[in-house]
Amino acid sequence: MLKLILATTNTGKIIEIKEKFNDGNINIESLLDYPEIPEIEEDGNTFLENSLIKAKAVLCYTHLPVLADDSGLEIYYLKGKPGIYSSRWGKTDQERIERVLNELKEASEEQRKARFVCVMCFVTPEGNIYTSEGICSGKIIFQPVGCDGFGYDPIFVPDGYNLTFSQLGRDIKNRISHRAIALKKIIPKLNNYFYSKIKNNNNI
Ligand code: ITT
């Protein structure tokens, strides 16, 4: 069976990606299935650089097609922070949320605009590289609400809604999120790639 490796250990990302790309012909694995792969240092300066670093490193180890997701939360009042440092902003989701709320404690409702960014890279052993970006704008509320999702979901209200990503739940998040948008753009590349593999294997 054809395989796609998700270059991530983040279970929240894995669930969301698998829900949107669930082609029955492809066995989707993640770094959780490859504990022997050492931690990848994300020392890029942009989401794109970090996404490519993860994708290429995992391709190097597995020699299989890889999809990487580098994402984060940009808060205007904090001049774009935490941005690429979103996962390093604290040790746990709770710590990271507390730090954001603390740094925004002087910020009024109008000053709490933020956006989630996701950059995906799909790389293949044949040397193809495809990238896509998704952005979801919204604001940071004053207290965490809701228990669905992961990361900063309990404090992020997307534009056009009055509920956090955590309250909205996966069905809505999977339609409007930064990850959903980036995936929608890159899925045709994945489909083309795997379709041509199936076609060649079957000599169609
Ligand atoms: P991998 O590198 O293994 O993929 P990671 O969690 O370290 O996992 P990133 O470096 O891309 O991934 O950091 C993304 C962080 O941004 C993530 O840990 C969350 O804190 C936050 N984040 C990204 N997408 C999010 C989402 O949809 N909802 C809430 N928080 C999100």
Residues 32-51, mean pLDDT to the nearest whole number:
96
- pLDDT of 71 strictly over 70: yes
Q: What is the pLDDT of residue 97?
A: 98
Does ligand 1 have an atom closer than 6 angstroms to the CB of 74? no
pTM, rounded to two decimals: 0.96
Q: What gap in Å lies between CA 47 and CA 51, rounded to an integer?
A: 6
CB of 140 closer than 8 Å to CB of 112: yes
Ligand 1 atom 11, closest CA: 70
From ligand 1's centre to the CA of 30, what distance in Å? 15
Instruction: Kindly report, residue by residue over 95-153, the tens digit of the pLDDT.
Output: 999 999 999 999 999 999 999 999 999 999 999 999 999 999 999 999 999 999 999 99
2 Cα: distance to centroid of ligand 1 (angstroms): 27
C-alpha count within 13 angstroms, C-beta hemisphere, residue 45: 0
- ∠ CA 147-46-42, nearest 5°, is 75
Question: With bands split at pLDDT 50, 70 and 90, how would you rate the model's confidence at 23?
Answer: confident
User: What are 82-90's contacts with CB under 8 Å, separation 24+?
Assistant: 83/117, 84/42, 84/44, 84/45, 84/46, 84/47, 84/50, 86/151, 86/152, 87/10, 87/151
Q: Which residues are catalytic?
A: 70
Determine which helix (DSSP H) or strand (DSSP E) holds 116, and give its type and residue range: strand 113-123
pLDDT at residue 1 above 90?
no
Radius of gyration over every alpha carbon of the chain, rounded to an integer in angstroms? 18
Q: How many CB atoms lie within 10 A of CB 27?
A: 13
Ligand 1 center to residue 116 CA distance, Å?
10
Report whether residue 152 contacts ligand 1, using a CB cutoff of 6 Å.
yes
Evaluate: CB of 72 within 6 angstroms of ligand 1.
yes
Which of helix, strand or coil describes residue 75?
A: strand
Which tens digits make up the pLDDT trace of 153-203? 999 999 999 999 999 999 999 999 999 999 999 999 999 999 998 888 765
Cβ of 13 less than 6 Å from ligand 1: yes
| pLDDT of 25 higher than 90 | no
